[in-house]
Homo-oligomer: A and B are copies of this chain.
Amino acid sequence: MQNFEFHNPTRILFGQGQIAALAKQVPAGAKVLMLYGGGSIKSNGVYDEVKAALSGHTVLEFGGIEPNPHYETLMQAVELVRREQVGFLLAVGGGSVIDGTKFIAAAALYQGEAWDILSKGGKVIQSALPFGSVLTLPATGSEMNSASVITRHATQEKRGFMSRHVYPVFSVLDPAKTLTLPARQVGNGVVDAFVHVMEQYLTYPAQAPVQDRYAEGLLLTLIEEGPQALSRPDDLAVRANVMWSATMALNGLIGVGVPQDWSTHMIGHELTALYGLDHAQTLAVVLPGIMQVKRDAKRAKLLQYAERVWGLRDGNEDSRIDAAIAATRNFFEQMAVPTRLSAYGLDASAIDAVVNALEAAGSVHLGEHHDIDGNATRAALTLSL
C-alpha cells in the first residue's frame, strides 16, 4: 500500500424522507440558491419537498443546468450569486447539477478569470461558498467527493478539477426519489459507478486487500442489484443499494494507497464531446477494449477480478480473463447500455477522431503505467466497433 491522506468531510443523510432534514442542515439566515437541471424535480415531487423543508429560508432558484454542464450556463449562476450575495448553494439533481454547483461555489469567490479553475486545475481555488446537495440520480459519486467536470460549450472542451474546498457540506440521498428515473438513466448510473470502481481496482496488485475487497464488494453489489433496478423498478431496497454503491464507488475510500487507471474516463470524455454519447455509454464502449489491450499489464488483477467477482475458477488463465472481459461487456449490455460503437451509429472514423482529439490534448500517457497512448486507444476502440 502506498502512503496516503484521506479526508472526506461530507455528511450523508440517507433514506426515505431525509429531504426534511434540510431544514436543520442548511444554515439559518443564509440566502440560499437552489440549483437544478431540466426540471424533472418539478414532476417527481422533489422540488416541492425541498421548498417545504426550506420554508424558513430565503431561497432563490437557478434551473437549466445541462447534462455535462456548460461553463457558459454556470457563469450566469455565478453572476446571480454575486449580485444577490447568496451565502449557501443547494444542488438538487444528479452529478451534473452537483458538479456545476462545485464550480459555481469556487468561481463565485475566485478573483481571477473563472476559466482558470478549469484550465489550471483546482489548485487555484483558495475558498468556495458552502453548499449541500439533494441527489436524485445515483451515478457519479459527486455527492461525496471533491471533483467536478465542466464543458465549455463554445469549444466543446471538457475539463475537470478537484479541490478540498468543494466537498459538499452535506448530501441527502433518498432512494425513493430515484424510483421515477427513466430506465436509461438507471442503466447509465450503474455502469458509471461500476467503471469508477474498476478504474481504481483494475491495475496491478498493491498489497492492499482492504481496498481490493471493498472494490469487489461494490462490483458484486452492482452486478446483483443493477439488473433488478431495471426489472423491478418499484423496489426501494434495490434502489437504496444502488444509490449507496454509487456514492461509495467514488468517495475516495477504495482508491487510497493504490494505483489508478482513469484512461476509460479520459477516452470516453472525447466520445461525449465529439458525438454526444451519454457519459456511461462511452465508458461501456471503452472499458472492455482497455481490459483486452492491457491484459498483460493487468493480468494479476484480471485473474483476481475473474475469480472473486465473476466466480471464474476453471480453465486456463487466458480463458478466465477472456470470460471476465466478456462478462463485463454482457453486464453493461444487460443494463441496456450498448458497448459497441456501431450501436451508436459510429464507425472507424470516430476512432480516428477520438485519437486525434486525445493527441491534440496531450492525453497520450494514460493508465497506471502512463503507456496508454494513441495506438493503444485505437486498438481498444477497434475491439468495440
B1 contacts A244, CB within 8 Å? yes
Residues of B within 8 A of A21 (CB): 5
A-side interface residues, number (CB < 8 Å): 43
A214: interface (CB < 8 Å): yes
Separation of A77 and B244 alpha carbons in the complex (Å) = 42
B1 contacts A237, CB within 8 Å? yes
B241 contacts A208, CB within 8 Å? yes
A-B contact list, 10 entries, CB within 8 Å: A1-B237, A3-B15, A5-B12, A5-B21, A6-B11, A7-B11, A209-B224, A214-B217, A216-B217, A253-B253
A67: interface (CB < 8 Å): no
Separation of A208 and B243 alpha carbons in the complex (Å) = 11
Chain B residue with minimal CB distance to A209?
B221
Residues of B within 8 A of A221 (CB): 209-210, 213
Separation of A306 and B241 alpha carbons in the complex (Å) = 23
12 new A-B contacts at CB < 8 Å, known A1-B240, A1-B244 = A5-B13, A6-B14, A15-B257, A207-B237, A209-B221, A210-B218, A210-B221, A210-B245, A213-B213, A213-B216, A214-B217, A253-B253
Separation of A16 and B256 alpha carbons in the complex (Å) = 15
Instruction: Give the distance to chain B from A364, nearest Cβ to Cβ, in Å.
Output: 31
Separation of A115 and B16 alpha carbons in the complex (Å) = 38
Instruction: Give the distance to chain B from A188, nearest Cβ to Cβ, in Å.
Output: 20
Instruction: Give the distance to chain B from A177, nearest Cβ to Cβ, in Å.
Output: 14
B16 contacts A5, CB within 8 Å? no
Separation of A245 and B18 alpha carbons in the complex (Å) = 31
Chain B residue with minimal CB distance to A144?
B6
B208 contacts A213, CB within 8 Å? no
A4 contacts B8, CB within 8 Å? no
A16 contacts B3, CB within 8 Å? yes
Separation of A327 and B125 alpha carbons in the complex (Å) = 53
A213 contacts B220, CB within 8 Å? yes
Instruction: Give the distance to chain B from A105, nearest Cβ to Cβ, in Å.
Output: 19
A335: interface (CB < 8 Å): no
Residues of B within 8 A of A13 (CB): 5
Chain B residue with minimal CB distance to A235?
B207
Among B9, B216, B218, the residue within 8 A (CB) of A9 is B9
A2: interface (CB < 8 Å): yes
A248 contacts B14, CB within 8 Å? no
Among B4, B170, B240, the residue within 8 A (CB) of A14 is B4
Residues of B within 8 A of A39 (CB): none
Separation of A237 and B210 alpha carbons in the complex (Å) = 12
A143: interface (CB < 8 Å): no
Separation of A224 and B256 alpha carbons in the complex (Å) = 20
Residues of B within 8 A of A2 (CB): 15
B225 contacts A220, CB within 8 Å? no
